[in-house]
């Protein structure tokens, strides 16, 4: 009887450590998710501003009577390079936001798995506590 009680107490100790670890991991994941959501929101604001600026840049036009020859060519080359840079940067920024969103989804899945595991461990703990109480009664 004392051997089975000792074994049950060891199992309870192991389960309690698992519960503690799961709770800690859930807190860590929740913090990461929160920070990534804030970053994603800020990035979305930046993307919106950048898209607005890009539309303005794309709609710029030059007055042909004020520009001619070499100056016009230089300006157009630099303008095209600038537009390409803005387009590229916007694409990279959108990709970064999508990567953040993917990471958030993975972390949420991981958090859900830890919550499920925690629920299972709590159920196991209840079962062990029940068995301990019955072994003590005998």
H-assigned helices in the chain:
2-58, 69-137
Q: Is the pLDDT of residue 138 over 70?
A: no
Question: What is the value of pTM for the model shown?
Answer: 0.80
* Structure confidence by residue, pLDDT tens digits, 36-58: 999 999 999 999 999 998 888 78
Predicted confidence band at 1 (pLDDT cuts at 50, 70, 90)? low
Question: At a CB cut-off of 8 Å and minimum separation 6, what does 90 contact?
Answer: 47, 50, 51, 54
Averaged pLDDT, 91-113: 97
| Count of domains observed in the chain | 1
Averaged pLDDT, 100-115: 98
Amino acid 78: pLDDT: 86
- The closest alpha carbon to 8, from 131, 137, 136, belongs to 131
By percentage, how much of the chain surpasses pLDDT 90?
69
Question: At a CB cut-off of 8 Å and minimum separation 6, what does 83 contact?
Answer: 54, 57, 58
What dihedral do alpha carbons 109, 111, 114, 118 form, nearest 10°? -130
Q: Tell me, what CATH number does 40's domain have? A: 1.10.287
- Name the residue range of residue 20's domain: 2-137
Predicted confidence band at 72 (pLDDT cuts at 50, 70, 90)? confident
Averaged pLDDT, 23-36: 98
């Amino acid at each position: 009887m004392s051997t089975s009680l000792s074994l049950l107490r060891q199992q309870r100790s192991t389960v309690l450590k698992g519960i503690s670890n799961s709770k800690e991991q859930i807190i860590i994941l929740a913090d990461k998710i929160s920070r990534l959501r804030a970053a994603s929101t800020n990035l979305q604001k930046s993307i919106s501003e950048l898209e607005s600026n890009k539309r303005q840049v794309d709609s710029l036009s030059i007055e042909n009577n004020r520009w001619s020859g070499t100056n016009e060519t230089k300006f157009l080359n630099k303008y095209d390079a600038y537009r390409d840079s803005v387009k590229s940067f916007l694409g990279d920024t959108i990709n970064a936001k999508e990567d953040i969103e993917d990471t958030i989804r993975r972390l949420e899945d991981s958090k859900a798995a830890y919550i499920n595991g925690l629920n299972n461990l709590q159920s196991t703990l209840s079962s062990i506590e029940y068995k301990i109480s019955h072994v003590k009664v005998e």
